């Protein structure tokens, strides 16, 4: 006996039908891959936990401070204001310099924190 369905709107396409329900059931129960991501590297002016892009180890970084453009401009400003004997202060203060983070196990560059 043939089923009579009501007429459909123009452009309607019926969903595909499955003849073999066990095949459809097998496709639905495939194991899903779980992807775990490491937390992002949050760098600051102090050593912090980070994942090395080279060796992939998550450890505390080593920090070296390097003068930046901000450091040189601040020293120049101090000189121009008459403090020629105080112009070395930005080079001695870590807060006026950029913090370069390196991996403590392999020594690879991890990132730079600019104040």
Tell me, yes or no, whether 3 lies in a domain.
Answer: no
pLDDT score at 91? 93
pLDDT score at 82? 84
Strand ranges in 10-104 using DSSP code E only, listed in sequence order: 49-51, 58-60, 62-66, 98-102
Q: What is the dihedral of CA 103, 104, 106, 112, to 10 degrees?
A: 20
Tell me, yes or no, whether 20 lies in a domain.
Answer: no
Domain holding 100, by residue range, is: 49-81+94-114
Compute the distance between CA of residue 5 and CA of residue 12 in angstroms, rounded to an integer.
13
Tell me, yes or no, whether 61 lies in a domain.
Answer: yes
pLDDT score at 85? 86
Tell me, yes or no, whether 89 lies in a domain.
Answer: no
The CB density around residue 29, as the number of other CB atoms within 10 Å, is 6
Tell me, yes or no, whether 39 lies in a domain.
Answer: no
Domain count, the chain: 1
Instruction: Determine the Cα angle at 27 with ends 21 and 32, to 5°.
Output: 150
Tell me, yes or no, whether 29 lies in a domain.
Answer: no
Tell me, yes or no, whether 56 lies in a domain.
Answer: yes
* 115 residues of the chain, pLDDT tens digit each: 556 666 666 666 666 665 555 555 555 666 777 666 666 778 888 999 998 988 988 999 999 999 999 999 999 999 998 888 888 999 999 989 999 999 999 999 999 998 8
Compute the distance between CA of residue 48 and CA of residue 59 in angstroms, rounded to an integer.
8
Residue whose pair of structure tokens reads 């595909």 in the numeric block = 16
Instruction: Determine the Cα angle at 99 with ends 84 and 50, to 5°.
Output: 170
pLDDT score at 19? 57
Name residues whose C-beta falls within 8 Å of residue 109's C-beta, 6 or more positions apart in sequence: 100, 101, 102, 103
Both tokens assigned to 85: 């004997």
Tell me, yes or no, whether 110 lies in a domain.
Answer: yes
């Amino acid at each position: 006996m043939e089923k009579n369905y009501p007429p459909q709107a123009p452009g309607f396409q019926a969903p595909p039908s499955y003849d073999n329900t066990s095949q459809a059931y097998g496709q639905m129960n495939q194991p899903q891959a779980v992807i775990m991501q490491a937390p992002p590297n949050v760098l600051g002016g102090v050593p912090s936990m980070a994942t090395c892009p080279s060796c992939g180890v998550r450890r505390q970084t080593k920090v070296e401070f390097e003068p930046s453009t901000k450091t040189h401009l601040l020293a120049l400003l101090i000189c121009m204001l008459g403090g020629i004997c105080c112009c070395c202060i930005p080079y001695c203060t870590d807060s006026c310099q950029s913090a370069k983070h390196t991996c403590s196990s392999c020594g690879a560059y991890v990132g730079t924190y600019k104040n």
